[in-house]
């Protein structure tokens, strides 16, 4: 009887641990690219805005002197 309880308790704890890790969602990401004008030249220090269309969340950045 005691052994069965320990088995089921371990089973439930393991199951909860697996569920908890699967519920974690990635909340970060990376965007790579280069800002260029119509002639293909790099645009230094351009203001960049990335927006999540689902949530409206915005992140702003400025390109480097070489446009990246």
Rounded CA gap, 24 and 18, in Å? 11
Cβ atoms of residues 64 and 42 within 8 Å? no
Annotated domain spans of the chain: 2-62
Would you give per-residue pLDDT tens digits along the chain (68 residues)?
Answer: 688 888 888 888 887 777 766 666 667 778 888 999 999 999 999 999 999 898 888 999 999 988 88
Cβ atoms of residues 9 and 17 within 8 Å? no
Global pTM? 0.53
């Amino acid at each position: 009887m005691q052994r069965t309880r320990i088995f089921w308790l371990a089973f439930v704890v393991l199951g909860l641990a697996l569920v908890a890790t699967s519920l974690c969602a990635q909340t970060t990401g990376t965007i790579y690219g280069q800002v260029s004008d119509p002639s293909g030249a790099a645009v230094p220090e351009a203001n960049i805005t990335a927006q999540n269309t689902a949530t409206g969340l915005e992140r702003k950045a400025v390109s480097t002197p070489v446009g990246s």
